[in-house]
């Protein structure tokens, strides 16, 4: 009786635990069966023997944009590249009810994957910490989902005419390297083809959502055509940094150069020092900006701004130089003319010189003429106090309207 009950208990436990053992063994057996080298060749595209192209659906998930370099004209980013295709050789509907099979890193080399690459890539690498960052899932109907994590540095040809109020369109091209359109076709995912994570960039923000297109490439060495996908990242530069570090300091330096119009004409050291200081400051600021930009052959918005600011501070220095030279020249001319007039009217001056009363009259005459020239110098300064600020305001209105509104929306 005891032996019979023991046998019954063993049978019941065997029935209860047999499905678990069957499932575990079934996954291993399914993978061994699907990836058996006698029936599956990872070197051949899924529909190669049927003489038709394999459709590969792509999705790009942008995790971060690390840097955008104007000098090298490139951008660095981290992405998930997700690819989906159907491989009829990997169907296992008749073998199991498992929804999908998740492959280990060491088994992925036994499955065919597209030879995808980025034509405008300058540098890239896979992430391998702590294991290679990639996954491959196989569904019951043979659908393969393949995802890899990449860090890319891509070429982005920038137009800097409106820098730093510029907008940039940086393309990302995805293409097959060896398979032509006869064997592999790329298509964007119908929904959320290009997704952007909560990306924060110090100098840029996304002006609008990325746009996607489908393209093809035919190389000159042959008639082969390769499938290609592209997306454009529409970026708008943040102007806040440049307002704080470039535009506002430049405006203050230009205003500082106008202080000389309120300084007395005879204060030569003060006015010359102020004029030279402002010119050197604007020049140094312009040099610092140019060092962070490529040497392009066209004029940028920042070049226009710096040139006009330099013109204003240099003009303020020239204004003082002009009135100083004119005052000195008229002062010497007035003294000489007065003495000649006195000598011509009184021949005794040549022999006996001027008497004290006559000397006083000469000094009064010279002083009167000097006062006229000083009034003229002050009048020029008064005109400059009005003309320079008004001209700078007009320039600012024109500059900001053109570069912020008109030119960016052409």
Per-residue pLDDT of the chain (410 residues; tens, 9 = 90+): 445 444 444 444 443 444 434 344 467 888 888 888 888 899 899 998 888 999 999 999 999 999 999 999 999 999 999 999 999 999 988 777 788 899 988 889 899 999 999 999 999 999 998 899 999 999 999 999 999 999 999 999 999 999 999 999 999 999 999 898 999 999 999 999 999 988 888 899 999 999 999 987 777 556 788 999 999 999 999 999 999 999 999 999 999 999 988 988 888 888 888 989 999 999 999 888 888 888 889 999 999 999 999 999 999 999 988 888 877 766 555 554 554 454 555 554 444 454 555 445 545 554 555 556 677 778 888 899 999 999 999 999 999 999 988 665 54
Cis omega before residue 371 (within 30°)? no
Say how far apart CA 85 and CA 113 lie, in whole Å: 9
Cβ-proximal residues to 216 (8 Å cutoff; 6+ apart), any chain: 181, 225, 226, 227, 228
* Tokens 């923000």 -> residue: 205
| CA 256, 257, 258, 263 torsion-angle sign | positive
pTM higher than the cut 0.85: no
| Tokens standing for residue 328 | 């000195």
Residue 339 DSSP class: H
Q: Please tell me the distance from the alpha carbon of residue 377 to that of residue 332, in angstroms, as a whole number.
A: 16
The pair of structure tokens assigned to 296 is: 């392009």
Length of the chain: 410
Strand blocks (E) in 219-266: 225-237
Strands, E, within 107-254: which ranges? 116-117, 121-126, 134-139, 143-155, 167-176, 184-188, 194-196, 204-218, 225-237
CA 375 – CA 17 distance, rounded (Å): 112
The set of residues, in sequence order, having a beta carbon less than 8 Å from that of 110 and lying 6+ positions away, is 35, 40, 42
CA distances from 193 to 80, 87, 116, 130, 340 (A): 12, 22, 16, 28, 93
The DSSP secondary-structure symbol of 120 reads T
């Amino acid at each position: 009786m005891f032996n019979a009950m023991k046998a019954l208990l063993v049978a019941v436990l065997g029935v209860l635990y047999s499905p678990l053992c069957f499932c575990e063994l079934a996954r291993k057996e399914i993978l061994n069966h699907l990836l058996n080298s006698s029936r599956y060749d990872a070197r051949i595209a899924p529909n190669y023997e049927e003489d038709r192209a394999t459709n590969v659906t792509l999705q790009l998930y942008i995790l971060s944009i690390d840097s955008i370099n104007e000098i090298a004209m490139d951008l660095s980013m981290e992405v998930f590249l997700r690819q989906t295709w159907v491989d009829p050789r990997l169907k296992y509907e008749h073998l199991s009810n498992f929804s999908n099979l998740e492959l280990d890193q060491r088994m992925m080399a036994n499955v065919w994957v597209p030879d995808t690459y980025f034509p405008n890539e300058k540098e890239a690498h896979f992430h391998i910490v702590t294991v290679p960052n990639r996954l491959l899932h196989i569904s019951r109907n043979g659908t393969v989902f393949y995802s890899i994590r990449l860090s890319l540095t891509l070429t982005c040809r920038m137009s800097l005419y409106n820098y730093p109020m510029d907008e940039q369109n940086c393309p990302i091209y995805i293409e097959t390297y060896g398979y032509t359109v006869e064997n592999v076709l790329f298509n964007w995912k119908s929904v959320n083809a290009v997704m952007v994570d909560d990306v924060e960039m110090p100098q840029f923000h996304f002006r609008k959502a990325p746009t996607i297109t489908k393209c093809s490439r035919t190389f000159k060495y042959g008639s082969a055509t390769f499938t290609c996908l592209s997306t454009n990242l529409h970026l708008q530069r943040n102007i806040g940094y440049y307002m704080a570090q470039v535009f506002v300091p430049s405006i203050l330096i230009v205003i500082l150069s106008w202080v000389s119009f309120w300084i007395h004409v005879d204060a030569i050291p003060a006015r010359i020092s102020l004029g030279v200081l402002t010119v050197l400051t604007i020049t140094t600021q312009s040099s610092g900006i140019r060092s962070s930009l490529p040497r392009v052959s066209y004029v940028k918005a920042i070049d226009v701004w710096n040139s006009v600011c330099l013109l204003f501070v240099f003009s303020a220095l020239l204004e003082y130089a002009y009135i100083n030279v004119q005052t000195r020249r008229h002062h010497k001319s007035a003294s000489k003319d007065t003495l000649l007039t006195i000598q011509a009217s009184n021949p005794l001056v040549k022999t006996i010189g001027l008497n004290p009363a006559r000397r006083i009259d000469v000094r009064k005459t010279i002083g009167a003429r000097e006062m006229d020239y000083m009034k003229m110098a002050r009048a020029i300064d008064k005109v400059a106090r009005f003309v320079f600020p008004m001209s700078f305001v007009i320039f600012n209105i024109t500059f900001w309207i053109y570069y912020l509104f008109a030119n960016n929306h052409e």
